[in-house]
A and B are shown apart, each in its own frame.
Chain A
Amino acid sequence: MFDEMRDSHGGVRAPYQRIEAWLQSAGVGALAGRHAEAEALFRRIGITFAVYAEDGGDPERLIPFDLIPRVFSAAEWRTLQRGIRQRAQALNAFLYDVYHRGEILKAGVVPEHLVYRNEAYLPEMAGFDPPGRVYSHIVGVDIVRTGPHDFQVLEDNCRTPSGVSYMLENREIMMRMFPELFRAGAVEAVDAYPRQLKQTLVEAAPAKCAGDPTVVVLTPGPLNSAYFEHSYLADLMGVELVEAADLFVDEGLCWMRTTRGPQRVDVIYRRIDDAFIDPLAFRPDSLLGVPGLFSVYRGGGVALCSAPGAGVADDKGVYVFVPDMIRFYLGEAPILKNVDTYRCADPDALSYVLANLKDLVVKEAHGSGGYGMLIGPHASKKELETFRKKIEARPEDYIAQPTLDLSTAPVLGENAVENRHVDFRPYCLVGREIRLTPGGLTRVALRKGSLVVNSSQGGGVKDTWIMAE
């Protein structure tokens, strides 16, 4: 098993020298004592992540924060960032293609039905050119590591990946509590992200926009689990945080209700699902959304980021073909590998999956957030049987992957440093150019031995360092 901090002989790997010195001088016990201080800072600032628990749960629970940063060397990041950019580019090329000529489908590289019969595919988007031909403006790529040079992509998030506020706040809190760690610019800064996000959104301005585009963040409201992030990003970008009821369309343009009367809106960074954008276009039964917004979008009166229908690129069934997309559109070899994935829709794969269920991780092809997933080695006989029946009933809804030996990183236990599994989500911005903040969100499975890092399933977060060259 690969550990991020220590090599197989117990020596400290180069990027973690600074962490080791810090742990030695500060002392684990003393650091553990400062954990409460970090929690208090989070509480005061108001960062919470609502978790949809069946028993109701605490609507404003804090994501556990671990004080020991996760570190990448400059060289590791060089490779990673090339791979991430490459992927973000290919995914956008794929989206443009499937909403236009569908070359990759005609060439037989990606099966047609995976796209056209996908719930996330919106026929309403066919033939439409979003500004700059960008569909997914913020691509979150979930990456796991299994060895010193083995990085694999677990999944892509092309709609509205969340968690970037933690990247910013974790750093902020670490810098407040341990300023000495950041002396001499040893760690790459992450604070350019909001500026770059704003720039990316400005670049998405639609044809009818005259002058400086007015950007807004569209949130479902304070009850949404990521609401803090929505307001935080709006604040950092200096733009309005709006709810659907604040917006209306008139004369082919989008407006917000203000105390001075209606004000024009040009770019909407929407943190709501496709289905709730516009009840006229997508969900007539929905009270959410802005009636008529989609037709204004199609008419070039307003930009939506990400574009409706972008989700077809991050479907777990489509995921399997991302390396092929990279070859097809960019003519390059994929820099980041995929995790081996069995699509249960394929009969051969299905029989393999059913025969090896106890060794595999099974996920819903269209789900997210770690819900409805089976981890074979940790499942009871009964859970295995339940899942077997589910898969047999609807094989096309499931994919399976080998249980990965995820890397571990040090976390602060009560009295000692312990090791827990981690993953990594960088946030890649796609505008006229591709921008990537050196950093990201490291999620950590805080339960010993657990492989599930989702915050909804008891995962925590860490500050993530990219060491400066």
Chain B
Amino acid sequence: MLSRTAENLFWMGRYIERADATARLIEMGRGMAMLPGSNESEEWRSVARATAAPESLTGEGAAAEDVIRHLLLDADNPSSIRSCLVQARANGRAIRTALTQDMWETLNDGWRTLEQATPARLKDDLPRYLDWTRQRAAAFRGAAETSLLRNDGYAFLRLGEYVERADMTLRLLDVKYYVLLPETDVVGGGRDYHQWTSVLRATSALRTYHHVHRDNYTPWGIAEFLVLNRMFPRSVMFSYLGLERYLEDLAAVYGVRRACQNTAAGMVKRLMGFDTGGLFQFGLHEFIVEAVGCTHRLSREIAAAYDF
């Protein structure tokens, strides 16, 4: 496969995942801002921080509307949902032959929907646009899952998704880790409860968590769930298991192992090494910083290994 094709597939996976995760983040911001006693602009600022938005949006005085517009519509923000979907489609168009008809149609269907969004009606229309975004992402993944050949191209697409997913979950944790530190537990009360669960909400894991833990939400339970759970598809562990698997697939197909295979396997091993409470003993924040760095390095190593 052409290196450019591999690169396009990898980034297509990343863009779709980023659009999806950003929609979930905005959803979380909306939910938090509606809670009684919440500081609306503070909630939106933390959403902005999780997406590495410019300082004008993460500092005092940033308006909710501005953050939403920046994350949803801003054509100048390469990570806005609109930019991600436009870019994913442009990538698809550049490598049309590497996609199936089904995949292309999900990228092409209504790709201009967000261009019609008007800032004035943005708040009213927001739920509709967020649902629509998640459906686009789900349709794309579904089309890939059921129609794409399981060759190296499939691996590159999935690698892009998992790199982005690991990165987004880690960045969310990075912004919210302070509410998940064990000592905040003593504060108690409804407000903190909502703060913890907001992290689950942003990863659409509110009910899933309950299925796994059965008991009440605890901040360390939530942190461990998002980092170490092997079954939850948006956890860091799950993402890295996916990365390891598809990188091993590539190594088998091409008959060569490179730095990226070792990096992914190394992180999986590290995650497996934590037992209950181990994450906090090591330091949640320290681990997040380490894992973010590792994910970025892995992305660069994949590009170097396959010449893009």
Contacts and interface: CB of A to CB of B under 8 A. Distances in A.
A109 to B, nearest CB: 44
B114 to A, nearest CB: 16
B152 A259 contact: yes
B2 A240 contact: yes
A241 B101 CA distance: 16
19 contacts: A44-B108, A44-B109, A45-B104, A46-B104, A222-B90, A227-B93, A232-B96, A235-B96, A235-B97, A242-B2, A246-B4, A256-B2, A257-B307, A258-B2, A259-B1, A259-B254, A259-B307, A260-B1, A261-B307
8 closest pairs, A vs B, by CB? Answer: A231-B96, A259-B306, A235-B97, A257-B3, A259-B6, A222-B94, A222-B93, A234-B97
A245 interface: yes
A44 B109 CA distance: 6
Contacts of B109: 44
Interface of B: 1-6, 90, 93-97, 101, 104-105, 108-109, 152, 156, 250, 254, 306-307
Nearest to A262: B307
A243 interface: yes
A240 B5 CA distance: 10
- Which of A221, A259, A260, A261 has the most B CB atoms < 10 Å from its CB? A259
Contacts, number: 58
Nearest to B6: A259
A221 B105 CA distance: 20
Contacts of A235: 96-97
Interface in A222-243: 222, 227-228, 231-232, 234-235, 240-243
Contacts of B3: 246, 257-259
A61 interface: no
Given A227-B93, A256-B2, A259-B306, A45 B101 contact: yes
Interface of A: 43-46, 221-222, 227-228, 231-232, 234-235, 240-243, 245-246, 256-261
A45 B103 CA distance: 11
B286 to A, nearest CB: 35
A258 B6 CA distance: 8
Nearest to A219: B94
A231 B97 contact: yes
A403 B2 CA distance: 49
B152 A44 contact: no
A232 B93 CA distance: 11
Contacts of A234: 97
A257 B2 contact: yes
A261 B90 CA distance: 25
